[in-house]
Every structure is written in C-alpha cells, then in structure tokens.
A = this chain, B = another copy of it.
Amino acid sequence: MNFKRVPNHIGVIPDGNRRWAESRGISRERGYENGIGPGFELYKACLDLGIKEMTFYGFTQDNTKRPPSQTRAFQKACIDAVKILSDKDASLLVVGNTDSPLFPSELLSYTKRTNFGSGKMKVNFLVNYSWWWDINKAYSMGTAPGNPRDYFLTNIASGEISRIDLVIRWGGRRRLSGFLPVQTVYSDFYIIDELWPDYKPDHLYDALRWYETQDITLGG
C-alpha cells in the first residue's frame, strides 16, 4: 500500500463488539475478546505504513455503568491488548483514572510511557477514561505564569497524547462519545459501518485513501 500522505496520529474508536456478539447469538461479553486480534492487526498495518502515533479508545468511566460482567469483559480485553503490545515494537502509554478500583491494576505500570522493541510507534490506550476527568486535571491545577494554553494542554490528564489527525470509528455511529475533546478539535472523522470484530485491512486503507484527499486547515 502506498499513500502520498498519511496522518501522524490516528485515533481509533473500536465500537460494535456487543452488537457483533448479539448478531452471532453469543453473549455480549464475548464480543470484547474478539476485538483484541483486530487491534493487533490494525497496529501492525499502521506500523508498516510508518504511522507515528495511535490512540485506542479502550473503555470509559461511563462504560463502567454497564452490567459488571460486561465491565469485567472489557477490562480484560484492554489488559490483554496492552500485554500483547508490550512484547512488540511500541512506546506504550495508558491514560485513565487510576484512583478508581475500575482501573485494572495490571495496567498501572503502563501509566508512564514505556518502550518495547525499538519503540518506534507511540501507542496510547484510554482505560477508565472520561473527557471531564481529562480536562479537570488541568482545570483543578489552575493557571501559572506563562502561556495559559500551553500550560493547559500539557496539564490535562492526556497531555502526553498529541493532536489527532484522523479518527476512525468502527460500528457506524457518527460521534466522538467523549473521545479526547482537546486533541480532536481539528481531526478528520472517518466512519466504518462494519463492527469492530469484523475489522479488515481495507477499512484502514479506505480511511487513508479518503484522508489523502482532505485539505488540512487546522481551522484556518
């Protein structure tokens, strides 16, 4: 695959795991385990293309209001996904509210960026994340002398995650659902109607072919 211009940073909203399970007549919890393989395939395809950074929307504090069996299932899927990458070429970072028992203790060590292999690609996971928790970290710290914008941007909880060029969402819904509101103010959105466990490399390539045709204005 050859593209004349690829995004630096892709945001991934892997939606549709429960609908996928239901459509197969298996329990909704089983959807999440079928989302791990696609995540690894997508990571490999992006690594091959020289994408510099990816951020996966793992689960949110809103999501944990679902039945406990589902919450346990998506917690486990996030742990497994991070562990798979911790064996590969990636500079891993997990961002989420660790002050809650809903944050998996297995991932605590990844809340500081950790390099594996040649650490070529930054791979971020949002785990027990919430947009308000993210912003409130900077807000509750207050301002400081200097440029308030830079100070805010570095002190939000996701301050180590850069501006996102392209958000790809699986599962047909056309919304951000609280995904990194600060980093997505200028992002292009690409929606794939198929459900996340049905990931195919062509989904990524279709998104990138579309992205090539977009002009980047950053609001100008």
Q: Across the two chains, which residue of chain B brings its CB closest to A151?
A: B139
Q: Across the two chains, which residue of chain B brings its CB closest to A188?
A: B175
**Residues of chain B contacted by A21 (CB below 8 angstroms):** none
Interchain CB contact under 8 A, A181 and B181 = yes
Q: Would you list which residues of chain A between 160 and 192 have a CB under 8 Å from chain B?
A: 173-178, 181-182, 184-191
Q: Is the CB of A8 closer than 8 A to any CB of chain B?
A: no
CA of A174 to CA of B211, assembled, Å: 10
**Residues of chain B contacted by A173 (CB below 8 angstroms):** 188, 214
Interchain CB contact under 8 A, B181 and A62 = no
**Residues of chain B contacted by A101 (CB below 8 angstroms):** none
Pick the residue among B178, B182, B189 that contacts A175 (CB under 8 A): B189
**Residues of chain B contacted by A177 (CB below 8 angstroms):** 185-186, 217, 219
A181-B185 in contact given A62-B218, A140-B148, A143-B142 (Cβ < 8 Å): yes
Size range of the interface on A? 35 or more
Q: Is the CB of A24 closer than 8 A to any CB of chain B?
A: no
A148-B174 in contact given A62-B218, A62-B219, A185-B131 (Cβ < 8 Å): no
Interchain CB contact under 8 A, B174 and A149 = no
Q: Is the CB of A65 closer than 8 A to any CB of chain B?
A: yes
Q: Is the CB of A40 closer than 8 A to any CB of chain B?
A: no
Pick the residue among B65, B131, B149, B184 that contacts A220 (CB under 8 A): B65
**Residues of chain B contacted by A140 (CB below 8 angstroms):** 143, 148
Interchain CB contact under 8 A, B63 and A220 = yes
**Residues of chain B contacted by A185 (CB below 8 angstroms):** 131, 176-178, 181
Interchain CB contact under 8 A, B139 and A220 = no
Scan A125-148; emit 1 where CB is below 8 A from any B CB, else 0: 000000110011011101100001
Interchain CB contact under 8 A, B176 and A148 = no
CA of A214 to CA of B138, assembled, Å: 33
**Residues of chain B contacted by A189 (CB below 8 angstroms):** 174-175, 189
Nearest 10 CB-CB pairings of A with B: A62-B219, A181-B181, A174-B189, A178-B185, A178-B219, A62-B220, A177-B219, A175-B188, A131-B185, A142-B142
